[in-house]
Amino acid sequence: MTNLADPSRAWVYLDSASGQPLHPSARDAILSALDQGYADPRRLHDSGRRARLLLDNARAAVAQCLDVRPDEVSFTSSGTDAVHRGLLGLRRGRLRVGTTIAHSAVEHSAVLEAIRWADVRSIGFAVDRAGLVDLAAAQAALAAETEPVAVAAVQLANPEVGCVQPIEAIADALGNVPLFMDAAAATGTLPWPGGWQVAAASAHKWGGPAGVGVLVVRKGARWRDPFPADDRAEPRVSGFENVPSVLGAAAALQAVQAEHSELSRRHTQLSAQLRDELASIPDLELVSSARPEPGSALPGLVAFSCLYVDGEALVGGLDRRGFGVASGSACTSSALSPSHVLEAMGVLTQGNLRVSFGRDTQPDDVARFARALREVLDELRSGLGLDL
Amino acid sequence: MNDTGAVELDCRGLRCPLPVIELARRLPDLPLGAMIVVVADDRAARVDIPAWCRMRGQEYAGESIAADGTPTYAVRRLS
């Protein structure tokens, strides 16, 4: 890609956690399906059967990648939609038991907004400085509830800081309370654990197209559609599937899983390289793990915060130098409040950046990024009159 | 000075990262062991002032509330 401000300079995209460029496998699958998958998969004619076949192939492929049954997989219109349906449907299936929703303090806004929309009592599980759910505190919070908790929502990996929750241990601590797992940040990178009843993911996070979410409802889970549908036969989702995009999502997931161990190894090295660079920058706090064990963190994500600078100025300065990164600082959000994830962890929120690597990121990109970051920080801090 | 003898730093209306910058500017003027109280309505200050203390080796001495309801954050100079 080229830099819009200076076409001669290579643009380095370091925001794969927000959305990946389309995987080449997805592009091929989408293009071939555009001409084949236009019909209504429920119609009993040749074109309909062809669309149905493509959809069922995609479902089988995704089910195999996620190690679930094909009839447990539905395709939604986005990851957010999958989260809303998954969590609220699990709650609806438990209405006779209770209405309260428990969640970790670091859930994605799609989970928090679903709870707000449901307008029910909620309890938040505190997290430690690493962003991990405190199991003892979670159990104490559940025990303190006088009404039964309907459902709990815990993400597999956090999209802002990359920590991976101990889902199976959390499921044990929850006892009879069913668990909704938001796996959007981790799917394609980490295998799914057990212990959950309903899970959701988002195709553009693994290199599929935007506009495709995956909702998995385990057989036997008490899940009821929380939203109105139409007279279509497909359970759990509403509307006409985007068959070509669904096929692209499935092709991308198969491809990234095949590349996974090699990519994880490279991303682990790039993360270590970046952390080494950051260690020599003053007044900087690493907010992703400093020494991640395999499987305990997303391998290709490094998050940190810098004293005395605003996140928007950092993002802008790096953008002008040809690097695309995300920030969770207050100054980069419309709400003027810092990321609830950083707040819940109790880490520095100002000057926050999240660097997330793609399939093509090279060690030289990381070295050049670190140089650009030093320049931008020096520029922003030099005028402050601080003795640093 | 406020009634506890601590220096007060009025950061009302200042947005992140300005309250922390003001604190970093002002603290070196105080003797070791002295207390400064940052009055800040910016939400990020609640996390960022304790984080600044942790990163800069100063003591975070807790949150309170000013007479007008604005949160205050006490910091003791250690180094």
In tens, the pLDDT along A149-202 reads 999 999 999 999 999 999 999 999 999 999 999 999 999 999 999 999 999 999
Active-site residue B16, yes or no? yes
Domain boundary assignment for chain A:
12-22+260-382, 24-254
Report the run of H or E that residue A216 belongs to, with start and end: strand A213-217
With an 8 Å Cβ cutoff, is B30 touching chain A?
no
With an 8 Å Cβ cutoff, is B57 touching chain A?
no
Taking an 8 Å cut-off on Cβ atoms, the answer to whether B25 and A349 are in contact is no
Interface confidence, given as ipTM, is: 0.94
Taking an 8 Å cut-off on Cβ atoms, the answer to whether B47 and A338 are in contact is yes
Report the run of H or E that residue A273 belongs to, with start and end: helix A243-279
Tell me what pLDDT residue A233 has: 66
- Closest partner CB to B16 (pick from A283, A329, A347): A329
pLDDT band for position B4 (50/70/90)? low
Q: Count of A–B CB contacts within 8 Å?
A: 68
Both structure tokens of A56: 């069922």
With an 8 Å Cβ cutoff, is B48 touching chain A?
yes
Catalytic residue among B7, B8, B10, B16: B16
Query: For B26-58, how does the pLDDT look when each residue is reduced to its tens digit (9 = 90+)?
Result: 999 999 999 999 999 999 999 999 999 999 999
With an 8 Å Cβ cutoff, is A285 touching chain B?
yes
Return the ∠ at Cα A202 (arms to A201 and A203), rounded to 5°: 125
Tell me what pLDDT residue A2 has: 53
Q: Measured between alpha carbons, how far is A162 from A147 in angstroms, rounded to an integer?
A: 33
- Closest partner CB to A338 (pick from B20, B44, B50): B44
**What does the buried/exposed string (b/e) look like for A128-148 if buried means 16 or more CB atoms within 10 Å of the residue's CB?**
eebbbbeeeebbebbeeeeee
- Closest partner CB to B17 (pick from A337, A346, A350): A350
Asked if omega into A41 is within 30° of 0 (cis), the reply is no
Q: In angstroms, what separates the C-alpha of A348 from chain B's closest C-alpha?
A: 5
Which CATH number is associated with domain B7-76? 3.30.110.40
With an 8 Å Cβ cutoff, is B78 touching chain A?
no
Q: Measured between alpha carbons, how far is A110 from A4 in angstroms, rounded to an integer?
A: 32
Q: In angstroms, what separates the C-alpha of A350 from chain B's closest C-alpha?
A: 6
| Domain spanning A12-22+260-382, CATH class | alpha beta
DSSP for A219-261 reads TT------S---S-S-SS--S---HHHHHHHHHHHHHHHHHHH
Q: Measured between alpha carbons, how far is A211 from A192 in angstroms, rounded to an integer?
A: 22
Low-confidence ranges of chain A (pLDDT < 50): none
**A304: chain B residues, CB-CB within 8 Å:** none
**A328: chain B residues, CB-CB within 8 Å:** none
CA dihedral A164, A166, A168, A171 (to 10 degrees): -110
Both structure tokens of A5: 């401000």
| Domain spanning A24-254, CATH class | alpha beta
Q: Measured between alpha carbons, how far is A320 from A313 in angstroms, rounded to an integer?
A: 11
Tell me what pLDDT residue A229 has: 84
Domain boundary assignment for chain B:
7-76
Q: Measured between alpha carbons, how far is A140 from A105 in angstroms, rounded to an integer?
A: 15
What letter represents residue A92's amino acid?
Answer: R
Q: Measured between alpha carbons, how far is B52 from B49 in angstroms, rounded to an integer?
A: 5
**A310: chain B residues, CB-CB within 8 Å:** 16-17
Report strand pairing: B7-10 vs B35-39: parallel
Give all strands of the β-sheet with A100-104 in edge-to-edge order.
A73-76, A213-217, A198-202, A179-182, A149-155, A100-104, A122-125
Q: Measured between alpha carbons, how far is B16 from A352 in angstroms, rounded to an integer?
A: 12
Residues 6+ apart with CB under 8 A from A278: A284, A286, A302, A304, A370
